Amino acid sequence: MDTSGECRPDASGEPVTSCLPESYGVQLPLVRAQVGPLENPSSEGFFYYLGPMCHCYILFSNSLNRFYVGACQDLNKRIHNHNKGKYGKSTFTSTANDWVLFLNIETKNFPNARRLELKIKSMKSKTYVLNLKKHLELLEKIKREST
């Protein structure tokens, strides 16, 4: 971000991915709109804020042979925290430290991610979770229903 408060590419020419300083701990996704012909990229342009991408995620623990369904904005941090037991010793995910991402469903906002989480949890079925990954039409259907 330059001194005017506008997002601009830095001198390295690397694309700008966020206007917030790293100390904020949040990266906001941005899309750059090019000014001028694409053959001649310029440093001028403007950015659209897309809002934070949210996730409904399903983790799998091999040691427990169980799934866990959750919702969040920062997926990598969330998985790391589950594996480190940062959500308390009495939580379900603290019983294992080998959680891996089984399925990630990106949503436009957190309420949609949460609705998906609750829908999947309400099914109480390992077969249903496996079918979400196997049959994309089922996944698309519950995404539509949760919007």
Q: What is the pLDDT of residues 33-65, one digit of tens each?
A: 545 555 555 555 555 445 668 999 999 999 999
pTM higher than 0.75: no
Residue range 54-145, CATH number: 3.40.1440
Q: What is the pLDDT of residues 101-110, one digit of tens each?
A: 999 999 989 9
Could you tell me where in the chain the CATH 3.40.1440 domains are found?
54-145
What is the three-state SS of the chain?
Answer: CCCCCCCCCCCCCCCCCCCCCHHHCCCCCEEEEECCCCCCCCCCEEEEECCCCEEEEEEEECCCCEEEEEEECCHHHHHHHHHHCCCCCCCHHHHCCCEEEEEEEEECCHHHHHHHHHHHHHHCCHHHHHHHHHCHHHHHHHHHHCC
